[in-house]
Structure formats: C-alpha cells, structure tokens
Amino acid sequence: MQRRIEQAVLDLFSAKPLSQVSFSEIARSANTSLQTLYRYYGSKDALLTASLEHWMTQLTSHVSDSIKGVDTYRERMKNAFCEVLDYFEEHPDVAVLAQHAISNDPEDEKDPLIKQGYSQVLLAELESGQRQGILNKHVSSDVMFDYFAGSFIRLVQSSILRGSKESIAEQANDLFEMLWRGIADPSYKEPL
C-alpha cells in the first residue's frame, strides 16, 4: 500500500503543484481510503516529504554504490555527479517532486532535501575533500554543498523545463570538468 501511495504522489505532484492536488485525489489514485492517508500522513506536506524520502533513499543507494571502491577523490565526486544526472534523467518526475518539496516561503526555513541521505553523503565527501586540501577551503562546506548540488539541480531543472531531448547525462564528463574547476583548490596538484 505504501508504494502505491508513493507512486500516486509522484504521478500527481509531478504533473501539477501541491496546492492543486487534493487528498481525495491522492487516495483515489493510490486505491486507498482517505482515512488511511490522514491516519498515516496527516497532511499533504507530510505525504510529500515521506514520498520524497523513498525516492531520495533510492538515489542515495545509487550514489553510494557508484563511489564504493573508487580510489581517487576526484573520480568519486565525478561518479557521484554523473550518477545524480543519470538518476534524474531516468526519473524526471522525481526531480519535479523534489522541486515541489522546496518551499519558496522565506518564513519557512525547512529544506527537506538537506535532511535526505544523499545530501549527507555528498556533504561528507565535500568536507573530506576540504580537509585533504583537494577542494577550496575559502568557502564553508555548506556553501560548497550548495554550489555542487546547485549545479546538477539547475541542469536537471532546466532540461525538464525546456523539454530538452538532449541528454545531460551524456554530457556529464564535460559538465563535471567545468564544476571541478570551480571547486578544486587552485594549489592542489593531482597525483600522477
């Protein structure tokens, strides 16, 4: 039942904004009762966050697998970057769902994406790179995270908004090289 509900949320919220989707519409699409939705989730925001957590956990698993056993720091970051682009290209509806989860209200300080496992994995990798002197230390790890994640978020978002037929995943190597030049410590020399 939970997977049906998450799929209904993904289908409905990726097609139209949260405010235009009713709880009864979600219940109908998930083939469950309205009471069940209220009992387990209580609100559309809670339902959106829970559903997003499922999809982001899947992404985290893909990213973690892609960096296991990779020797060099730069290659780990490149693999993570490429994996995220691949994932969102294969699942553009998850990217739209994630966009709906981010509040545009300046009074609302929550960012559900920051709490997700993939964000924690990425932040830990960036902090490690800074400690090792590989990445620029003149900016905080939070700003470094925003710069790194903001790059792929904007690439995915723009591709979806434009309805682009051009694969951003196929350009991932070149895109990563551009990003790497922006985050690497200028004094760092890669081992030969």
What pLDDT, on the 0 to 100 scale, is given for residue 144? Answer: 93
pLDDT in tens, 122-136: 889 999 999 999 999
What pLDDT, on the 0 to 100 scale, is given for residue 185? Answer: 94
Whether the model clears a pTM of 0.85, i.e. scores above it, the answer is: no
Rounded to whole angstroms, the Cα distance separating 141 from 125 reads 10
CB 173 within 8 A of CB 82: yes
pLDDT in tens, 7-32: 898 889 888 877 888 989 999 999 99
**Residues 6+ positions from 160 with CB-CB distance below 8 Å:** 92, 95, 96
- For the chain, which ranges sit under pLDDT 70? 102-116, 118, 192
What pLDDT, on the 0 to 100 scale, is given for residue 111? Answer: 52
Q: In the chain, where are the structural domains located?
A: 51-183
What's the gap between Cα 20 and its chain centre?
23
What pLDDT, on the 0 to 100 scale, is given for residue 184? Answer: 95
- Which CATH fold would you assign to the domain 51-183? Tetracycline Repressor; domain 2 (1.10.357)
